[in-house]
Amino acid sequence: MDLLKIKQIIFDELAEKSSHNWKEKGNKYHHGERVAKLILTLRNYIIPDDDGHDDILTVAAWFHDIMNGMDNHALLGAERTKELLSGYCSDYEMREIYDIIYRHDDRYSDRESFSVYARLHQDADLLDHFGTFDIWTQFLYAVCHGQTILEEIKYMNEWRSELDTKYGGELNFEISKKIYDEKTEFYNYFADRFSVEGTGGIWNEKELLGN
């Protein structure tokens, strides 16, 4: 595959678009770039001797959210990718890319039946939504919807329970869970500090001032 030509195709499709009117331009294009980097990092840890699918993993990451915002966006995204990449991939490459995109949002089926590449993509995709990116997205939403700092503090403290009880179980690999736990730990730290400083307090006041 000619990755440069394929990268131009997804750039032309997504770089000037936003999946929501309150998100930044090109948000899904840049999400795809980050997932592509994350998935190769995970692959190197989980199946370090298997680099033969790296181009397939990269292209699937770039294109996986091309139809985001529509019902059944995974199926529609797989079909749209197949149209756009006609003539740019072998039949085998296209089948693998299609399968990864088609399955990327399915966290309710028996994931053990999925290929290791589809499961790698699922983890990289999910991990990109947490940590500092989660905070960035929440701030974008708050500003665009006229929320106050106190409303955002309240939301962040409510969201923490979701992070602690829900999303970690959707990951496929232990290394992914470790990364998720570290991201959650950072988010909780930030939420604690934001709650203090956002209401006029001083973080670690006693330690800082020596009292």
Following DSSP, what letter does each residue of 5-63 receive, concatenated? HHHHHHHHHHTT--SSTTSPTTHHHHHHHHHHHHHHHHHHHHSTT--TTHHHHHHHHHH
Alpha-carbon dihedral sign for residues 194, 168, 56, 89? negative
Q: What are phi and psi of 190, to 5 degrees?
A: -60, -45
Could you tell me how many residues make up the chain?
211
Chain segment 2-25, per-residue pLDDT in tens: 999 999 999 999 999 999 999 999
Residue 94 has a pLDDT of 98
What single letter denotes the amino acid at residue 154? Answer: K
Residue 208 has a pLDDT of 86
Residue 211 has a pLDDT of 61
Quote the tokens at residue 189.
């730290």
Residue 8 has a pLDDT of 98
End-to-end CA, the chain: 63
How far apart are alpha carbons 159 and 153 in whole angstroms? 10
Predicted structure pTM score: 0.94
Which whole number is the average pLDDT over 140-169? 93
Chain segment 170-210, per-residue pLDDT in tens: 999 999 999 999 999 999 999 999 999 999 999 998 888 87
Which whole number is the average pLDDT over 92-96? 98
Residue 166: pLDDT above 90? no
**% residues pLDDT > 90 (the chain):** 89
Mean pLDDT estimate for the chain = 95
Helix orientation angle between 27-46 and 54-63, rounded to the nearest 10 degrees: 150
Helix orientation angle between 91-103 and 54-63, rounded to the nearest 10 degrees: 50
Quote the tokens at residue 19.
């999946």
